[in-house]
């Protein structure tokens, strides 16, 4: 191999390993760490991440990278590189360019601010007082505006933040997609609200033994092709997926004795993320070719499994008899279609993470509009709570009873993660567009699901998406899969058809 | 604070944190990691440890240290340091001096060799063939001789290896202690072998529910003062204690359904180690003052709890009725003294880790004699198996049936850890000398044990040992506690009295 490339890959691998080590430390914190060890652990994570950052932005790295690519223009210097290698160098340069755009002092200040703000946010939530958090959020917004200036953008500052998570999508793209989506969703939610169909959601709120729930979830995960010799599932307060290498991809779940859907769909959701990470091309570990193409694409994999597979009728044709066998007392009296309606029940609610497929994206749009207005200076933090409530009413027809269930509900802003929310809706859109193609390309697709064959889909996703890493950009990947650009149409068609039928609209 | 000292402490804290991070990675490997993730994890651990080593032996560290102490003579330069601060700098210099004594190339070669040798040892054990491992061990011995030359020594090369684990003790000290100990132990073991007293060991080999065993062990650990908000217990193939900070000290245990003693005394043993780490002075974290004074002293804390407390009659006066309550079917028919005899049963056996208090140290002497002879060139690896068997017969009156139960049984040599074994016996000796003093200084000691008061002893140990860290050397610490140098006498008296009574000698 090209020796300059070799040196660069050695460096990116060390930086990647450091980040993975920080992920191990974080996994342990969320699943295993004793309650009084938090301070020491925070110091350890900060140290490892700062070593990674220092290496990535240091002189040696600049020199290794500069041997292969013009650091200003991003033009590859070396004609000997294969297309994959050139892509690897070019993506590394893009990441590097964003990393060095932020002065070290600024990065440190932002880290200190968000670390403090996160604690204040927790307190403000407990006390149900947005006014405690507001001054910190105002400072975060101000720093995020400076961040956008450092990073640069074409149209508006929000573009720069979005690119932290979804490099191929602009604010204008989002506005366009959301303009298609919004009226459909608002109308669909209203029509469902007016429907007199009983969705039988109460059958999911009986008492379900935790160990049986866990065993059932694990069986579905195995059937999906989640490799337990290269992964594991634990409990944590907030479910997440993490990876330390394609050979060690872990998920967590949260089980409730009185809410069957939470643990089951949570496990499948995280399982979808985990299949993406387990399916990466290991030989490129330590380079961008062994990384997810974007957060929206990552979310597409979790939503695809959670909603398009596991909230479908064929899926439950196979699994519902098994679930009834596991919980006969609770479920024997209800037929398949009743259960199918229950897991697809739609109601406007104040809490995003509890929202159904139809209303979920309205929560995201509320947040996107607010974030964008804050970044553009059209909205002040002091007016955020009022504006939140107004928009919730406009989109969902309800108003949160307090700040904890309203403007304070999400962790993201306290961490400075403005620009993140849209990736959830992008996940739904990418996911449905991908699912429709998979369904058309895999022979006998619905029958396969109805017979418990989940692995054919897993294999299709692995070949078409997981194994690709960042070798193809999100924009090109969705085009190469579906022959068209990302669109809200497949998702809208899916919702209209599915919920039209369930609620007899 | 002195600003040069501040810089040094910042550096030692980063190096310490890196080592602790490696410990987290290792803990996860032994308790949680999926089976097929080993390669990636080995790379992560190697990376973090090499970053720590590079920092410790690099130019910047040398400069920071050199500002405070003469790097050749070890004389403190700066008169402003408090005695504790001077001690801190001086110990850091000692550690640094040993670390830089070994050329980086040599360290790398040894790491590669032992990494390979460890795999071969596992294979050789499986196949029961010492000849497969012998050539690797020969190369390890040769490199250990070179290591001794790099490190330097006064009398013989073994001194240099010993100092890796027990800086205050020389080979001559060990020979002197072992000369006292050996004849007593050989004679005591023989007399016990000739005794006709039934020790009722079979009562520990019934069926004991694992969850009940675990719960009982956890209760004893809590009673000992092991703080579960700053620690936790898990299962692993080989029990160990690890720490990431005084606020996160974890132990593991191995439970067997048919061997009650294994899990119970194993947990208490690791609990003794854990109390030492939890009892360190947190404000000195990142410096030698928040580290154990020596491995022998560390082992003294585990042995003291495992043997001198938990194999004593007063301890079981309190706990045996509770254990009978936990396992009535198995234990109701046996009285306290019968149980006490069972947990103190003595028999020569081939396996060190299963040995009793009397014969354990004979295993150590066999290994010490062999290691020393190898280092002095008086014994060749090719003759090691024969010599092992000959000495086992001489010391314990038995000969291993094969290599797996003989010369291949321990992991230590495959890791290059020559000089480590004696710390186990030192632990027994330090431990008993300390225990006798604690018993004389704590009013009503035996009654306290018989009433379940373990925390008074924990507190005494914390003040006299745990909190001291390395501020006082092992040699001075044992003197300051007991008014005399380390001696085999307290241990010999203890064994003669206890086993004379049990076996009616």
pLDDT of residue B1: 62
Give the residue from B26, B5, B16, B25 showing the smallest Cα distance to B51.
Answer: B16
Q: How far off is chain B from A137, nearest CA to CA, in Å?
A: 32
Q: Please state the rounded mean pLDDT for residues B65-89.
A: 93
Contact: A21, B48; criterion CB under 8 Å: yes
Contacts of A421 (CB under 8 A, 6+ apart): A364, A367, A368, A371, A410, A412
Element (H, E) at A494: helix A489-502
Contact: B34, A228; criterion CB under 8 Å: yes
Q: Please state, in angstroms and rounded to a whole number, the distance separating the CA atoms of residues B249 and B23.
A: 11
Percent of chain B's residues with pLDDT above 90: 98
| Main-chain dihedrals φ then ψ at residue B241, nearest 5 degrees | -115, 140
Q: Please state, in angstroms and rounded to a whole number, the distance separating the CA atoms of residues A42 and A457.
A: 40
Digitized pLDDT (tens) for each residue of chain A, 505 residues in all: 689 999 999 999 999 999 999 999 999 999 999 999 999 999 999 999 999 999 999 999 999 999 999 999 999 996 789 999 999 999 999 999 999 999 989 999 999 999 999 999 999 999 999 999 999 999 999 999 999 999 999 999 999 999 999 999 999 999 999 999 999 999 999 999 999 999 999 999 999 999 999 999 999 999 999 999 999 999 999 999 999 999 999 999 999 999 999 999 999 999 999 999 999 999 999 999 999 999 999 999 999 999 999 999 999 999 999 999 999 999 999 999 999 999 999 999 999 999 999 999 999 999 999 999 999 999 999 999 999 999 999 999 999 999 999 999 999 999 999 999 999 999 999 999 999 999 999 999 999 999 999 999 999 999 999 999 999 999 999 999 999 999 999 999 999 999 999 999 9
ipTM score of the complex?
0.94
- Does B166 qualify as catalytic in the annotation? no
**Nearest residue in chain B measured CA to CA from A47:** B14
**DSSP-H helix ranges across B163-236:** 171-194, 210-224
Q: How far off is chain B from A70, nearest CA to CA, in Å?
A: 30
Element (H, E) at B340: helix B336-342
Range A155-187 burial, b when 16+ CB lie within 10 A, else e: eebbbbbbbbbbbbbbbebbeebbeebbebbbe
From chain B, pick out residues whose CB is under 8 angstroms from the CB of A52.
none
**Nearest residue in chain A measured CA to CA from B234:** A32
Q: Please state, in angstroms and rounded to a whole number, the distance separating the CA atoms of residues A245 and A259.
A: 33
Q: Which of B27, B28, B50 to mutate to test the interface with A (most CBs of A within 10 A)?
A: B28
Q: How far off is chain B from A62, nearest CA to CA, in Å?
A: 20
pLDDT of residue A1: 62
Q: How far off is chain A from B105, nearest CA to CA, in Å?
A: 20
Contact: A230, B36; criterion CB under 8 Å: yes
* Closest partner CB to A40 (pick from B47, B231, B248): B248
* Closest partner CB to A24 (pick from B24, B229, B248): B24
Q: Please state, in angstroms and rounded to a whole number, the distance separating the CA atoms of residues A434 and A428.
A: 10
Contact: B40, A245; criterion CB under 8 Å: yes
pLDDT of residue B410: 95
* Closest partner CB to A25 (pick from B21, B39, B247): B21
Q: Please state, in angstroms and rounded to a whole number, the distance separating the CA atoms of residues B110 and B414.
A: 11
pLDDT of residue A122: 93
Q: How far off is chain A from B249, nearest CA to CA, in Å?
A: 9
* Closest partner CB to B34 (pick from A36, A37, A231): A231
Over residues B157-183, the pLDDT tens digits come to 999 999 999 999 999 999 999 999 999
From chain B, pick out residues whose CB is under 8 angstroms from the CB of A231.
34
Contact: B248, A47; criterion CB under 8 Å: no
Element (H, E) at A215: helix A210-224
Q: Please state the rounded mean pLDDT for residues B396-421.
A: 96
CATH class held by domain A110-505: mainly alpha
**Nearest residue in chain B measured CA to CA from A48:** B18
Beta strands A248-253 and B248-253: pairing type? unpaired
Flag whether the pTM goes above 0.90.
yes
* Closest partner CB to A17 (pick from B43, B244, B248): B43
**Nearest residue in chain B measured CA to CA from A21:** B44
Query: Is residue B495 a contact partner of residue B184, using CB atoms and an 8 Å limit?
Result: yes
From chain B, pick out residues whose CB is under 8 angstroms from the CB of A47.
14, 17-18, 21
Contact: B44, A21; criterion CB under 8 Å: yes
DSSP-assigned letters across all residues of A278-336: HTS-GGGTTSGGGS-S-HHHHHHHHHIIIIIITTSHHHHHHHHHHHHHHSHHHHTTS-H
Task: Break chain B into its structural domains and give their ranges.
Answer: 1-101, 202-345+435-484
Q: Please state, in angstroms and rounded to a whole number, the distance separating the CA atoms of residues B107 and B262.
A: 37
Pull the structure tokens for residue A493.
């068609």
Contact: A24, B28; criterion CB under 8 Å: yes
From chain B, pick out residues whose CB is under 8 angstroms from the CB of A280.
none
Q: Which of A38, A41, A54, A58 to mutate to test the interface with B (most CBs of B within 10 A)?
A: A41
Contact: B248, A44; criterion CB under 8 Å: no
CATH 3.30.260.10, domain B202-345+435-484, yes or no: no
| Chain A residues with a Cβ under 8 Å from any Cβ in chain B | 14, 17-18, 20-21, 24-25, 28, 32-37, 39-41, 43-44, 47-48, 51, 227-232, 244-245, 247-248, 250, 285
Confidence category of residue B79, pLDDT binned at 50, 70, 90: confident
Element (H, E) at B245: strand B241-245
Pull the structure tokens for residue B14.
């980063």
Element (H, E) at B42: helix B38-56
**Nearest residue in chain B measured CA to CA from A55:** B51
Cα B494 to its chain centre, rounded Å, is 21
Over residues B51-64, the pLDDT tens digits come to 999 999 999 999 99
Q: Please state the rounded mean pLDDT for residues B67-89.
A: 93
Element (H, E) at B159: helix B157-162
């Amino acid at each position: 191999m090209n020796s300059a490339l070799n040196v660069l890959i050695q460096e990116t691998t060390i930086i990647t390993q450091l980040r993975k080590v920080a992920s191990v430390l974080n996994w342990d914190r969320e699943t295993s760490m004793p309650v009084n060890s938090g301070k020491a652990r925070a110091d350890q994570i900060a140290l490892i991440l700062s070593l990674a950052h220092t290496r990535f932005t240091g002189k040696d790295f600049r020199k290794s990278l500069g041997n292969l690519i013009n650091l200003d223009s991003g033009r590859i210097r070396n004609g000997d590189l294969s297309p994959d290698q050139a892509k690897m160098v070019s993506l590394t340069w893009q990441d590097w360019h964003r990393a060095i755009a932020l002065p070290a002092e600024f990065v440190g200040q932002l880290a200190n601010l968000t670390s403090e703000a996160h604690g204040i946010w927790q307190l403000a939530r407990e006390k149900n007082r947005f006014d405690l958090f507001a001054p910190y959020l105002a400072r975060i917004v101000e720093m995020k505006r400076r961040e956008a200036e450092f990073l640069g953008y074409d149209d508006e500052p929000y573009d720069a933040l979005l690119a932290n998570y979804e490099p191929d999508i602009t604010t204008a793209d989002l506005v366009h997609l959301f303009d298609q989506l919004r009226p459909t969703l608002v109308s669909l939610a209203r029509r469902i609200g007016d429907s007199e169909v009983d969705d039988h959601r109460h059958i999911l709120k009986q008492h379900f033994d935790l160990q049986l729930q866990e065993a059932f979830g694990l069986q579905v995960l195995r059937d999906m092709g989640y490799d337990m010799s290269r992964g594991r599932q634990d409990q944590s307060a907030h479910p997440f997926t993490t990876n330390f290498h394609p050979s060690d991809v872990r998920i967590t779940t949260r089980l409730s004795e009185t809410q069957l859907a939470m643990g089951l769909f949570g496990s499948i959701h995280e399982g979808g993320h985990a299949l993406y990470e387990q399916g990466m091309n290991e030989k490129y570990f330590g380079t961008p070719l062994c990384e997810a193409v974007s957060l929206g694409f990552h979310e597409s994999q979790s939503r695809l499994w959670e909603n398009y597979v596991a909230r479908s009728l064929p899926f439950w044709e196979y699994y519902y008899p098994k679930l009834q066998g596991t919980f006969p007392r609770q479920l024997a009296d209800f037929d398949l279609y009743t259960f199918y309606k229950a897991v697809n029940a739609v109601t406007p609610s104040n809490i995003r993470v509890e929202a159904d497929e139809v209303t979920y994206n309205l929560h995201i749009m509320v947040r996107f509009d607010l974030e964008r207005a804050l970044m553009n200076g059209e909205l002040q933090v002091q007016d955020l709570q009022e504006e939140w409530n107004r928009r919730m009413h406009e989109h969902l027809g309800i108003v949160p009873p307090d700040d904890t269930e309203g403007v304070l509900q999400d962790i993201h802003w306290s961490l400075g993660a403005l620009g993140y929310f849209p990736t959830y809706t992008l996940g739904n859109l990418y996911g449905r567009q991908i699912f429709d193609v998979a369904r058309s390309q895999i022979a006998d697709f619905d029958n396969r699901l109805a017979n418990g064959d989940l692995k054919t889909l897993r294999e299709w996703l692995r070949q078409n998406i997981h194994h690709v890493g960042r070798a193809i950009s999100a924009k090109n990947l969705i085009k190469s899969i579906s022959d068209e650009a990302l669109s809200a149409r497949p998702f809208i068609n899916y919702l209209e058809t599915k919920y039209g039928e369930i609620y007899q609209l």
